Amino acid sequence: MRRARRPRVPVLARVAALLVGTALVAACSRGAPAPEIAVFAWSEYVPSEVIDGFTAATGIRVNLETFASNEEMLAKLLSGATRYDVVQPSDYTVEALAREGRLQPIDASRIPNLGNVSPDFLHLPFDPGQRWTIPWMGGAVGIVVDSTKVDPGSIRSFADVFTEAHRGRIVVVDDPREIVSWALATEGLPINDVDEASLAKVEPVLRRWIPLVRVFDSDSPKRALLDGDVDLGVVWSGEGALLLDEDPRFRWILPAGGSHRFVDSLAIPVGARNPEGAHRFLDWVLRPEVSARISAAYPYTNPNLAARRLLSPRALANPASYPPGEAKLEFFRDVGTGAVLVDQLVARIKAGG
């Protein structure tokens, strides 16, 4: 669900396995068309080394197409206009796709590396039977503060971010569902209670908050912080991890009142042309050295315990990637038509209506 482009990627000695295999060369030498899979994933979230390594090891080419939001991905899948072998939905979108009968069950016996996954990332509310998905990366939404401009001790909640003192100095992820969830949490309402009544309660809060924001960024909200254009912001944890790694002036804060925990997954949609290749891809990304490469590029919370053993102590100590203690975090659930109400409300306020 979240994109975080790392400006520099540390070298992992154990990624030599990404470059093995000769199946593609053999297929081409026979004049036979190479097999392929179509993958539909978040933009800037699948390292090219992972794609190239899979092709080198298996002979299966990957046609990668990207999307910018869960809603974009969901709309395209539900339209049936294009067929994919692997998709990358976030938690609540898995629920929606499963409800509509758009996912096929995964055969866990064909994914031996599933055994590398932490139990904390299995049988989650959006896939309690572990029928539809394998985890890609997880994370949370939190607050980043430039400590040279804002006292980190003064920021404990979303409400502390959205004050007149910070007008025009705030960046946030440009995601209406996220923005509304912060207001719901601030008002003591469950973040999945999305209906006309709950939205009416938080609309005054949103009307105060949204005009204070300088930058709405759906791709890389960390950029405005690095450039000094803003002093604090609400960002995805992978973006926060990159900021903390880039400059010690930044601090990561999980709101005391709770926030959104997410898991981005891989699934096989109904109608996949190459389900065998799809299963092989799912198993590939769960190899420890491959999963560690994903973490190196996009430092969210890695669900793969074997891969974590390959990460540096510094990476594992980053509080945005691996928060200490017990944070109050909750998954988004599918809210059906409530998502439309959320989009309409935020768009209306942004437009000054």
122 falls within a domain = yes
Among the listed residues 36, 35, 69, 45, the one whose alpha carbon sits nearest the alpha carbon of residue 239: 45
- CATH number, position 251: 3.40.190.10
Are residues 306 and 210 part of one domain? no
The total domain count for the chain is 2
Kind and range of the H or E element at 136?
Answer: strand 133-146
CA–CA dist 193, 197 (Å, integer): 9
pLDDT given at position 45: 94
Residues with Cβ within 8 Å of 43's Cβ and at least 6 positions away in sequence, in order, are: 3, 66, 67, 68, 219
3-class SS at 263? strand
Are residues 251 and 161 part of one domain? yes
Are residues 130 and 45 part of one domain? yes
Are residues 232 and 298 part of one domain? no
Pairing verdict, β 133-146 and 232-236? antiparallel
321 falls within a domain = no
Task: Answer positive or negative: Cα dihedral of 93, 97, 100, 105.
Answer: negative
Dihedrals phi, psi of 36, to nearest 5 degrees: -150, 160
pLDDT given at position 14: 34
Are residues 271 and 251 part of one domain? no
Asked if residues 186 and 257 have their Cβ atoms less than 8 Å apart, the reply is: yes
Are residues 333 and 289 part of one domain? no
The boundaries of the domain holding residue 218 are: 139-260+326-350
CA–CA dist 157, 256 (Å, integer): 6
Are residues 118 and 164 part of one domain? no
pLDDT given at position 7: 35
Residues of the chain with pLDDT under 70: 1-34
5 falls within a domain = no
3 falls within a domain = no
268 falls within a domain = yes
CA–CA dist 46, 37 (Å, integer): 15
Q: What interhelical angle do 176-186 and 338-350 show, nearest 10?
A: 90
Are residues 81 and 26 part of one domain? yes
Among the listed residues 58, 54, 41, the one whose alpha carbon sits nearest the alpha carbon of residue 136: 41
pLDDT given at position 69: 87
Note the residue count of the chain: 353
254 is written with which tokens? 């999980």
Place of tokens 């002036």: 249
Among the listed residues 114, 116, 96, 95, the one whose alpha carbon sits nearest the alpha carbon of residue 106: 114
Are residues 177 and 121 part of one domain? no
301 falls within a domain = yes
Are residues 114 and 55 part of one domain? yes
Are residues 254 and 116 part of one domain? no
Among the listed residues 320, 302, 3, the one whose alpha carbon sits nearest the alpha carbon of residue 143: 320
Among the listed residues 180, 219, 105, 186, the one whose alpha carbon sits nearest the alpha carbon of residue 335: 180
Are residues 147 and 76 part of one domain? no
6 falls within a domain = no
CA–CA dist 200, 211 (Å, integer): 18
130 falls within a domain = yes
DSSP letter at 127 equals: S
CA 286, distance to chain mean position in Å, is: 17
Amino acid at 344: Q
